[in-house]
Structure 1
Amino acid sequence: MKNMIISVVTLMFMVVMNYVLANVLGWNFIDLSLFVGLAFALIIRFFTSTGGLSSNMVRVQVQSMTGIKVEEEKETFKPTYAFYTAIFYTVAALIGVLIYYKDYFI
């Protein structure tokens, strides 16, 4: 039940953000949907993964300040339901864009 609520809240937040951006920029909803979904997927991935560039920068800073060697943390990522929802939204937006602009692609 908790995972369903997380997915619904994530989806609602993405739709609202897409709607607000579309109104502010004066674009169509479908034009921004792919970019909003992709941005959310990347942001969720960045903030839920361990290791990587930001962790290495902090590790190097700590080593330079203290002189104590800190073990490098391996980059790991465990996908969350919010991430899966963002990926689903992105794929659905891609399909919607392809259908909406099919005359341009064919």
Structure 2
Amino acid sequence: MKNAIVSIVTLALMLVINYVAASMMNWSFIDLSLFVGLCVALGIRFFTSSGGLSSNAVRVQVQSMTGIKVEEEKETFKPTFAYYTAIVYTLISLISIIIYYKDYFI
């Protein structure tokens, strides 16, 4: 039940962001949907993963200031239902864009 609520809230948040951005820029809803889906998916991945570039930068800075060696943290990412929802939203928006602009692509 918790996973369904997380997915619904994530989907609602993406739809609101997409609608507000499209209204502010006077663009079509479908034109921004792929961009919003990608940004949300990448944001979830960046903020929920451990290790990586930002952690290494902090680790190196701490080592240089203190002189104490800090163990390197391996990069790990455990996908959540919010991440899967963002990926599905992105794929559906990509398919919708291809169908909507099929005359332009062909």
TM-score calculated relative to the size of structure 1: 0.99
> How big is the shift at 1:73?
0.5
Per the alignment, residue 43 of structure 1 pairs with: 43
- Tell me the alpha carbon deviations over residues 29-52 of structure 1, each in whole angstroms, 9 at most, x when there is no partner: 000000000000000000000000
CA distance in 2, matches of 1:57, 1:87: 28
Corresponding residue number in structure 2 for 1:91:
91
Q: How much does 1:67 deviate?
A: 0.4
The 5 Å alignment of 1:20-59 reads 20-59=20-59
Whole-angstrom distance in 2 between the partners of 1:62 and 1:3: 37
**What is the percent sequence identity of the aligned residues?**
75
Aligned partner of residue 79 in structure 1, secondary structure: coil
Is 2:96 aligned against 1:104? Answer: no
Aligned-residue CA RMSD (Å): 0.4
> 1:2-31: per-residue Cα shift (whole Å, max 9, x none)?
010000000000000000000000000000
- Give the equivalent residue in structure 1 for 2:81: 81
Q: Which amino acid aligns with 1:38?
A: L
1:71 corresponding residue in structure 2: 71
CA separation in 1, counterparts of 2:25 and 2:43? 21
- Residue identity matched to 2:21: L
Aligned length: 106
Give the aligned residue type for 2:37. G
- Runs of 4+ in structure 1 displaced over 2 angstroms? none
Aligned partners of 2:58 and 2:5: how far apart in 1?
A: 34
What is the distance in 1 between the residues matched to 2:10 and 2:20? Answer: 15
Alignment gaps of 5+ in structure 2: none
User: Within 1, Cα distance between the matches of 2:14 and 2:47?
Assistant: 17
TM-score (norm. length: structure 2): 0.99
